[in-house]
Amino acid sequence: MDFEPKILALCCHYCAYAAADLAGSMRAQYPPNVRVLRLPCTGKVDTEYIMKAFEAGVDGVIVAGCLEGGCHFQEGNLRAKKRVGLVRDLMDEIGLEKDRLEMFNLSSAMGQTFADIVVTMTDRIKKLGPNPLRREAAKVLEGISR
């Protein structure tokens, strides 16, 4: 059986979410592995949210915000970029591949780019394999159920 990764996309309302919506309207082809969560701004993304997603078994996380310099909340996407960098460093320290997390900047007119990002991340995560935290959680649950 082929591994199909679970990917969470945290998208800002004004640009990245609109790009994801446009990708759907354009009928752009991309894997159905992604679940999109709309945020007012990526500046609201907390490092804990990202780590909790991995702890819950998500295999990859996309943080998608407005183009740099074009944030509707002035510097929200720049704060998100710093936080994503911090989480990537933490992931590296704990042995979770940092390539499972990536930040992208999109305008609302970049529907095809959103689809391309999903394809890229899905391919990347397939090569990395399942989230090791998910496997560990499954082992714990299996031990409890006995």
Looking up residue 73, the CATH number of its domain turns out to be: 3.40.50
- Average pLDDT of span 87-95: 94
Residue 106 lies in a domain: yes
Residue 29 lies in a domain: yes
Residues 6+ apart with CB under 8 A from 17: 11, 36, 38, 39
pLDDT at 55: 92
Mean pLDDT, the chain, whole residue set? 90
Residue 1 lies in a domain: no
pLDDT at 70: 82
Q: Give me the residue label for tokens 């460093």.
A: 89
| 24-73 tens-digit pLDDT | 999 999 999 999 999 999 998 999 999 999 999 999 999 999 998 888 78
pLDDT at 146: 54
- The verdict on pTM exceeding 0.95 is no
Residue 42 lies in a domain: yes
For residues 89 and 73, the model is more confident at 89
Residue 2 lies in a domain: no
State the residue range of the domain holding 86. 7-145
Percent of the chain, pLDDT > 70?
91
CB atoms within 10 A of CB 44: 14
- pLDDT over 50 (residue 141): no
- pLDDT over 70 (residue 92): yes
Residue 127 lies in a domain: yes
pLDDT at 1: 53
Q: How many domains does the chain have?
A: 1
